[in-house]
């Protein structure tokens, strides 16, 4: 069911909820990656709800159906404050599952802003040290059709296929509509505020691995890193650095998956998440 929350500085955030909020023993808050929407977690959230948990999948500010920041504030601190505010409305601290942007925001939220506001942190293919070439490739893909958009859903699907050649193309493109918005000119554009990439207040914490490592050391909660085995962003060296920084953290590799872990191999990703949650 779709619901709304108030984020940092009053911004309106939209989410989908799964499960019985009143009777759940465990709460999970999903935060997607940059350029994605809350629908990236739908399959996983449904499975958690079927196991008696309550899952909340959030559209981050400027993404999906959540408001665009009127002041153009897409700093990592604002994303993190949003997560803290939403988590505080739940009956008990949730497990925060964050991919890429959502994971970086989660490191700041749990390590700097509200150390007792979350039960655990799950990082999905994100770590303090990121491969620079991988970051550049992702940024390039997100920006290449930013202004002109696509003439059709098929054109958007082909762009994704060129970027993710290992992923099987869907036969039905209806799901792709959730990640696109149709403009008055009849062209499809990504469902996020362009200022997220072009504005003056953009996420920059990825350029400060020392800060992120410090945040992880300060977050005295259970941690799990789920990495796509074919990740272009999180190298094996980055994993080793992560495990040295937080030796108590759990780690899982997802085969046949790149940076978009949940979309590339959702079954294996969700199983790794469930095993972590069940063991807590």
Closest CA to 134 of 248, 258, 265: 258
- What is the DSSP track for 164-218? -TTSPPPS--GGGGGGEEE-TTS-EEESB-THHHHSSS---GGG-HHHHHHHHHH
Question: Within 13 Å of residue 159, how many CA atoms lie on the same side as its CB?
Answer: 21
Torsion angle of alpha carbons 231, 233, 236, 238, nearest 10°? -150
The structure tokens 């990504």 sit at 190
Both tokens of residue 236?
């094996």
User: Alpha-carbon distance 201 to 45, whole Å?
Assistant: 31
Note down pLDDT in tens along the chain; length 280 residues: 899 999 999 999 999 999 999 999 899 999 999 999 999 999 999 999 999 999 999 999 999 999 999 999 999 999 999 999 999 999 999 999 999 999 999 999 999 998 889 999 999 999 999 988 888 888 888 888 888 899 999 999 899 888 887 777 777 777 788 889 999 999 999 999 999 988 777 776 567 899 999 999 999 899 999 999 889 899 999 999 999 999 999 999 998 888 889 888 899 999 999 999 999 8
pLDDT at residue 214 in the model: 96
Both tokens of residue 259?
């940076």
Whether the Cβ atoms of residue 52 and residue 25 lie closer than 8 Å to each other: yes
For residue 116, give the DSSP letter. T
240-270: pLDDT as tens digits:
999 999 999 999 999 888 888 988 889 999 9
């Amino acid at each position: 069911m779709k619901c709304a929350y108030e984020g940092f500085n009053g911004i309106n955030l939209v989410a989908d909820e799964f499960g019985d909020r009143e009777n759940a023993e465990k709460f999970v808050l999903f935060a997607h990656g940059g350029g994605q929407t809350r629908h990236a977690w739908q399959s996983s959230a449904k499975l958690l709800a079927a196991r008696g948990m309550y899952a909340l999948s959030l559209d981050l500010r400027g993404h999906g159906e959540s408001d665009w920041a009127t002041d153009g504030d897409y700093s990592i601190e604002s994303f993190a404050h949003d997560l803290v505010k939403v988590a505080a409305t739940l009956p008990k601290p949730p497990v925060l599952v964050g991919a890429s942007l959502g994971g970086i925001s989660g490191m700041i939220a749990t390590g700097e802003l509200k150390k007792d506001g979350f039960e655990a942190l799950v990082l999905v293919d994100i770590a303090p040290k990121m491969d620079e070439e991988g970051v550049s490739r992702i940024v390039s893909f997100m920006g290449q059709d930013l202004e002109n958009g696509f003439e059709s859903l098929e054109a958007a699907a082909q762009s994704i296929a060129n970027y993710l050649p290992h992923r099987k193309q869907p036969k039905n493109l209806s799901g792709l509509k959730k990640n696109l918005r149709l403009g008055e000119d009849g062209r499809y554009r990504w469902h996020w505020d362009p200022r997220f990439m072009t504005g003056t207040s953009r996420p920059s914490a990825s350029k400060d691995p020392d800060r992120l490592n410090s945040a992880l050391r300060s977050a005295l909660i259970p941690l799990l890193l789920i990495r796509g085995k074919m990740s272009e962003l999180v190298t094996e060296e980055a994993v080793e650095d992560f495990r040295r920084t937080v030796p108590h953290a759990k780690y899982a590799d997802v085969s046949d998956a790149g940076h978009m872990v949940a979309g590339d191999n959702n079954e294996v990703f969700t199983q790794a998440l469930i095993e972590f949650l069940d063991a807590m």
